[in-house]
Structure 1
Amino acid sequence: MSNDLIQQRDVVTLGGVDAAFARGGNRLCFVDPRSPERCIKTLRADRSPAAKRRAAPLFKRLKPLASFDDNRQEARVFRRIERRIGQEAFELIPRLHGFVSTDLGEGLCCDLLRDDDGRIALSLKQYLWQRGRDRWVESALARFGERWRTLGMPSRRLLLHNMVVQCRDGRAERLYVIDGLGWPDMLPLADLVPALARRKAGQRLRDLDNAIEQLLARQARHGDFGIHGWLPDARREC
């Protein structure tokens, strides 16, 4: 991956912030105009590393500026995952393709997950909200969980809007985690102890199952979807 993460010289034109197909808490996601199978993540102007450091508690402001850059942190985590787990990890997470210069600043390029009809894949949260816990997503969750635990994949809490459901013939087939990777521990001992990694990954899966049940229970009570994870149909056609 190290060769992939060399910054490119050519500036990629993304077309302005309104062209983003998705907006997260810190980043914008664009279809790479050079390849519809790739995504470029850029930092939101209002959530720049400098702005995040200024808003951080005093003791955290001593950290280097790069530690407040989500793209740089994500690239470091992916490098660690590839070193520790290898190519099998990419059964469960997208591949990175390097840093690129864009008209909105530095961007991080990665795989863009699409369904077999070419539309951008839905988040697990949206899939469940629209279709429920059907037998196809249940099967995809089981396969995902087995591999996630076996590989001891490192992550923070698995959030439903940070997971994507790739469909074939309109049915859930595979799940991927697109954000929130890496152990949050100051000293990530799980990177050195595979059994500990598997145990922690198993706990993340149990928490994920609880999150799914909570989402479906909220929907049954006619609650709201929330602010994260919804992709309008028009944006899926990008």
Structure 2
Amino acid sequence: MTEVILGGLERAFAQGGNRLCFIDPRDPNRIIKVLRPDRSADIKRAKQSFPRNLKPLRYFDENWQEQRVYQKIQIAVGDAAYDLIPRCYGLVATDCGPGLVTEMIKDHDGRVSLSLKQCIWQQGKARSLMAVVEDFVQRWGELGMPSRNLLLHNIVVQQSVDGPKRLVVIDGLGWADIVPLAYRCPRLARWKARRKAQRLPQAMDQLLEKQRTGQDWGYHGWLDEEQRIVAAGSSAASQTDR
């Protein structure tokens, strides 16, 4: 397998709790997620107690786990899922370790879409945004989309020329149950997905209350403007250079 050169950990444009995100040098419409050195599979396994520490390393590898979840979503939900989540293109070898390639969610101007958390913090509960949220909540439940709790920083708001277009969940996918029966029971999946999606408005209100009372934003989910420019020569870069 040919190794993809990412150019070092400092080239990541975003960071999550377990992974770093890079622009795929082969295609600026895709990103490559690699494990943070301090969150590698062997370090995570070493922190586990017996007998969990006997599991193979892949069970502590977030990229391997996410690819597996995508395979299950394809079987359980099908192509309709990709209205609500990025597409996944599999694992690749990189100079920063194994990476998972997924679709880059961008706005109409070529910039990386902002998280729902950042949009709420900056704009509040604008009517146009809330309409998209309502559509998402309904569709997420109808499809029975597998996820852990839906966190505001794991959801991005894709913008069209006319404003918010759709919400896309970029992390936290897959049922967290020890025995995930919902993958095989659509009725159970819809019930679980509906419950998780319906908590979003409450999470938004809690974030706005933090802002109102002068509390800190938190750690995850913020992109500065320069981080949103996905590649030199893109429409976003051209507009910024003018």
Answer whether TM exceeds 0.5 for this pair.
yes
4+ residue runs over 3 A deviation:
none
Shift of 1:170: 6.6
Q: 1:106 to 1:60 in 2, by over 3 A?
A: same
In structure 2, the partner of 1:76 is: 68
In structure 1, the partner of 2:108 is: 116
Counterpart of 1:44 (choices 36, 40, 51) is 36
The 2-side partners of 1:96 and 1:187 are apart by 24
The 2-side partners of 1:205 and 1:89 are apart by 15
The answer (yes or no) to whether the contact 1:136–1:173 under 8 Å persists in 2 is no
The 1-side partners of 2:116 and 2:17 are apart by 18
Deviation larger for 86-95 or 97-106: 97-106
3-state SS of 2:146 partner: coil
Structure 2 residue 200 is matched with structure 1 residue 208: yes
Q: Structure 2, unaligned stretches of length 5 or more?
A: 231-242
- CA-based RMSD: 1.1
The 2-side partners of 1:138 and 1:213 are apart by 12
In structure 1, the partner of 2:93 is: 101
CA deviation string 1:171-225 (max 9, x = no partner):
2111010111111101111112211111111110122222111001111112111
The answer (yes or no) to whether the contact 1:190–1:197 under 8 Å persists in 2 is yes
In structure 1, the partner of 2:119 is: 127
Structure 2 residue 138 is matched with structure 1 residue 146: yes
| TM-score, normalised relative to structure 2 | 0.92
Q: 1:208 to 1:59 in 2, by over 3 A?
A: farther
Shift of 1:150: 0.3
Q: 1:217-236, aligned counterparts within 5 Å?
A: 217-236=209-228
Question: How many residues end up aligned between the 2 structures?
Answer: 230
3-state SS of 1:165 partner: strand
- Percent identity reads 50
Amino acid at match of 1:35: D
| TM-score, normalised relative to structure 1 | 0.94
Q: Structure 1, unaligned stretches of length 5 or more?
A: 1-8
The 1-side partners of 2:209 and 2:14 are apart by 26
The 1-side partners of 2:125 and 2:8 are apart by 37
In structure 1, the partner of 2:82 is: 90
Counterpart of 1:157 (choices 143, 149, 161) is 149
The answer (yes or no) to whether the contact 1:163–1:179 under 8 Å persists in 2 is yes
Q: 1:213 to 1:59 in 2, by over 3 A?
A: farther
Shift of 1:50: 0.3
The 2-side partners of 1:169 and 1:224 are apart by 31
Shift of 1:62: 2.1
Amino acid at match of 2:184: L
The 1-side partners of 2:127 and 2:28 are apart by 30
